[in-house]
């Protein structure tokens, strides 16, 4: 690391930081705009005056959003969904990815299983059969409708199986020689060694459960059962104003309120912001190799 002193190196480092900082700013600005909107007066927001700084600063929209019973209810559903759905996702991902990461000589049927799962990424029967199947299994309008149909995230399985594959064979071989079974090899060796990958996939699962709104709208029979993003969708989505009658106008002024929509977006974003830094601990470099050497 002592060759870093050359001026090329320093220019490169400076440029590198500068470019990354610029990109980060570009990614941050929209959030800043939404944040500013959420803190502005509704009249200022409704006449397009708010850019990056609140106009007519106030916290009313947060009081409004957090005070709504629907919001709290939907928030709870989403938290529960993450709490149950993510561990289940991860358990199944690991259980499926591990056998599929084996070579053909160790697991003769791996190709059949692999294509069995990959096919589902490519072919689907469409919305109606999907809905009818879920209805048939009796979980429509229940919490499980948000959990079970997507319980095996095939994309994540493929990512994880590639991480498993990249693990040095010797460690596992050694373990098996010591008399450990397949199950022990999985839980005691493969999983701990893939901590960064598992942390990453956990993040994806959390985000996926937290962000998805479509299933909630279709599979729940009552708005009270919606998870947070489904509920948000109903307040954010552009409404077809052409069908409005005069009586809707008064209601319209309430739901059109951009500031509270912005506040809802910000509030929905917060939990993920809390989780991310925590998971980042596991993204750290060199966990795998450290243990190889040890």
Partner 1 sequence: MRRKQGGELPFHLMLIPGVVLVFIYSYIPMAGIVMAFKRLVPSKGMFGSPWVGWHNFEYMMHMPEISGVIWNTAFIAVMKMTAGVLVPVTFALMLNEARSRLFKRSVQTIIYFPHFLSWIILSGLLIDILSPSTGIVNELLRALGLKEIYFLGDPRWFPYTMVLSDTWKEFGYGTIVYLAALTGINPALYEAAALDGAGRLRQTLYVTLPGLLPMIVLMSVLSLGNVLNAGFEQIFNLYSPQVYRTGDIIDTLVFRIGLENANYGVATAVGLFKSVVSFGLIGASYVLAYRWTNYRIF
Partner 2 sequence: MKRQLFTAILLPLALVSALAACSGNNGNNGNAEDHGASGSASASAGSAAASGEADATADPLGKYDPPIEVSAVRAISEGTKFGEGESIDNNVWSRAYADQLGIKINYLWTTPAAQYDQKLNIAIASNDLPDIMSVNAAQLKRLVDDGQVMDLTDVYGKYGSELTKKLLSEDGGNALKSGTFNGKMYGIPKMSSGLGQADVLWVRTDWLQKLGLSEPKSMDDVQKIAEAFVKQDPDGNGKPDTYGLGATKDIFGFFGALEGFFNGYHAYPNIWVKAGDGKLAYGSVQPETKAALQKLQEMYKGGLIDKEFGTKDATKVKDAANASKLGLFYGYFWNAGWLLDGKKTNPAMEWKPIALPSVDAQPALAQVPFAISTYYVVKKDAKNPEAAVKLLNFDLEKLWGKSAEPEVYNADKSGNAVFEYALLYGEAPRKNLDAHLNVVKALEANDPAALNAEEKSYYDKIVSYRGGDVNFWDSEKMYGPEGSLAVIEGYAKDGAHTDDAFYGAPTQGMTDNNATLSKLQLEAFTRIMMGGSIDEFEQFVSQWNSLGGKAITEEVNAWQASQ
Contact between 243 and partner 2 by CB under 8 A: the answer reads yes
Contact between 255 and partner 2 by CB under 8 A: the answer reads yes
x/- track of binding to partner 1 for residues 44-83 (CB under 8 A): ----------------------------------------
CA distance 148 to 1: 50
Q: Which of residues 95-124 bind partner 1 (CB under 8 A)?
A: 95-96, 98-100, 102, 106-110, 113-114, 116-124
Residue 109 interacts, among partner 2, partner 1, none and using kind-specific CB cut-offs from 5 to 8 Å, with partner 1
**Full DSSP string of the chain:** -GGGGSHHHHHHHHHHHHHHHHHHHHHHHHHHHHHHHHTS-HHHHHTT--SSS-SS---HHHHHHHH-HHHHHHHHHHHHHHHHHHHHHHHHHHHHHHHHTS-TTT-TTHHHHHHHHHHHHH----HHHHHHHHHHTT-TTSGGGGTSTT-S-HHHHHHHHHHHHHS-HHHHHHHHHTT--HHHIIIIIIHHHTHHHHHHHHHHHHHHHHH--HHHHHH-SSGGG--HHHHHHHHHSPP-GGG--HHHHHHHHHHT-HHHHHHHHHHHHHHHHHHHHHHHGGG-TTHHHHHHH-
Contact between 162 and partner 1 by CB under 8 A: the answer reads yes
Q: How many residues bind partner 1 (CB under 8 A)?
A: 100
Residue 22 interacts, among partner 2, partner 1, none and using kind-specific CB cut-offs from 5 to 8 Å, with none
Contact between 222 and partner 2 by CB under 8 A: the answer reads yes
The span of 90-98, 142-150, 245-253, 280-288 binding partner 2 (CB under 8 A) equals 245-253
- Contacting residue, 2, 3, 6, 242, with partner 2 by CB under 8 A: 242
**Which CB sits closer to partner 2, 129 or 290?**
129
Contact between 137 and partner 2 by CB under 8 A: the answer reads no
Q: How far is the CB of 115 from partner 1 (least distance, A)?
A: 8
Contact between 268 and partner 2 by CB under 8 A: the answer reads no
The span of 57-65, 70-78, 249-257, 264-272 binding partner 1 (CB under 8 A) equals 264-272
Residues in contact with partner 2 by CB under 8 A are 42-49, 127-128, 131-132, 135, 141, 217-218, 221-223, 234-235, 237-256
């Amino acid at each position: 690391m002592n060759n870093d002193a050359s001026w090329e190196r320093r220019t490169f480092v400076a440029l590198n930081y500068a470019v990354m900082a610029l990109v980060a700013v570009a990614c941050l600005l929209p959030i800043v705009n939404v944040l500013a909107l959420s803190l502005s007066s509704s009249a200022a927001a409704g006449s397009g005056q708010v850019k990056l700084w609140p106009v007519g600063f106030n916290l009313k929209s947060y009081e409004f959003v957090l005070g709504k019973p629907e919001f709290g209810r939907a928030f709870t559903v989403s938290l529960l969904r993450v709490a149950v759905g993510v561990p289940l996702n991860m358990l199944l991902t690991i259980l499926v990815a591990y056998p599929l990461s084996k070579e053909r000589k160790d697991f003769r049927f791996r190709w059949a299983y692999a294509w069995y799962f990959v096919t589902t990424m490519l072919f689907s029967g469409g919305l109606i059969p999907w809905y009818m199947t879920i209805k048939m299994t009796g979980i429509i309008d229940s919490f499980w409708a948000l959990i079970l149909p997507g319980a095996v995230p095939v994309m994540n399985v493929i990512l994880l199986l590639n991480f498993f594959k990249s693990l040095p064979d010797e460690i596992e071989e050694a373990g098996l020689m010591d008399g450990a079974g397949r199950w022990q090899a999985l839980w005691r060796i493969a999983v701990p060694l893939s901590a960064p990958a598992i942390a990453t996939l956990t993040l994806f699962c959390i985000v996926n459960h937290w962000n998805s709104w479509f299933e909630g709208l279709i599979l729940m029979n009552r708005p009270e059962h919606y998870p947070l993003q489904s509920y948000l969708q109903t307040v954010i989505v552009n409404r077809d104003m052409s069908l409005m009658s005069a009586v809707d106008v008064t209601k319209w002024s309430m739901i059109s309120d951009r500031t509270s929509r912005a506040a809802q977006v910000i509030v929905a974003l917060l939990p993920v912001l809390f989780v991310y830094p925590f998971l980042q601990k596991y993204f750290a470099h060199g966990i795998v190799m450290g243990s190889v050497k040890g």
